[in-house]
Every structure is written in C-alpha cells, then in structure tokens.
Structure 1
Amino acid sequence: MNGLHLAADVRNTGAIAFYPRLGFTRIPSHDDVVAFARDLSTPEVAAAAVPGSRRR
C-alpha cells in the first residue's frame, strides 16, 4: 500500500481538524466532503505503521 485516503463530512469539524495532525493533506473532493491523503511509501512511515517496530 502506497497511500491512504480519508473523507469527512464538511460538518465533521473534529475530523477535519484532526487528520492534518496525523500528517494527512487535504485533496480536492465533492462539495459536501473534505478529503485527505497521506503517502505511506517512505520507509519511516511504513515502519511507524507496524506495531512493535522502532524508528531508527
């Protein structure tokens, strides 16, 4: 998996504020949706996503 997309209803202000704190970037979407994407292809991100793995 190279990336992850998330979508939130425009009224979900908590999610819209939270996802960027996790490294997601807003991407174009429909009028009633705020969409986000995050690149998972770098080794550092991939290692952080595996439980029990350590960053070096």
Structure 2
Amino acid sequence: MAKTKFPSLAVILLIMAITWMFSDLGYVDMDLPWVPIIVAIIAIGMIFNRFNE
C-alpha cells in the first residue's frame, strides 16, 4: 500500500480563500490587501510541485 502525501498547500490555500471570502462578506473585519498575492504564490507553488514529481 503506497503512502499518499497530505495536501498541505491545498489546505493552506483553502484556509486563505475562506478567510478572504469572510472578509469580503463582512463577517471578519480584516484589511488584508496581500491575500490575493499569497494565494497566487501558493497556486504557482502547487503548479511547480505538480510538474516536478
């Protein structure tokens, strides 16, 4: 049985996206102008990791 990797980058991306969504909806009062940049960096990292396997 092969071990599967835990999708840690995907979980981080999901948490950041949910935080961003709650901020836009007004549930969380946060001023995070850098969230889209971090989400883009994580997505680029996931793409590079996918091709380096």
Query: Would you call these one fold, judging by a TM-score over 0.5?
Result: no
The structure with the greater share of residues assigned to helix is 2
- Structure possessing the higher radius of gyration over alpha carbons: 2
The structure with the greater share of residues assigned to strand is 1
Calculate the TM-score normalised by the size of structure 1: 0.29
Calculate the TM-score normalised by the size of structure 2: 0.30
